[in-house]
Structure 1
């Protein structure tokens, strides 16, 4: 599984394998601890996770860095789960 997370240093959206404890941001070089970091989506496929991270990055840029609310993250996860079921990824 791949986790879509946000860098603690520069807020860059990135992906991390779920077995990792830390991840180095490719943009700013800050190490983010996976435990305790908000996970936006968990995904089986690395390319799909990277696409989601990219799209979330675009959304947050349009929002001038304002993070998603907890309700928005829940809605994102629900829509992603529905997409997985509809496309046969589950």
Structure 2
């Protein structure tokens, strides 16, 4: 299970918690609007988190990666957001087609 301390360390200014329960956590980034589902897997001797991602609420998730800790997952999400926002700002605006 995610600990109360881990859940308390989620930056509410950066993430909106959509759902939380035992070994699952669903977040939405306030920067990109992307949704993230984190699944905690506990084996006899270690913990591991699987990270799933979607660009819009209501669309299917795809596997994004994994981390050993929840804080590692949050860091990976922030890095993805930075990449996504920089990529988006580099896109060339569409030229208007005039008749």
Higher helix residue share: 1
Report the structure number with the largest CA radius of gyration: 2
Per the normalisation by structure 2, the TM-score is 0.34
Higher strand residue share: 2
Per the normalisation by structure 1, the TM-score is 0.37
Query: Which one has more relative contact order, counting CA pairs under 8 Å at least 6 apart?
Result: 1
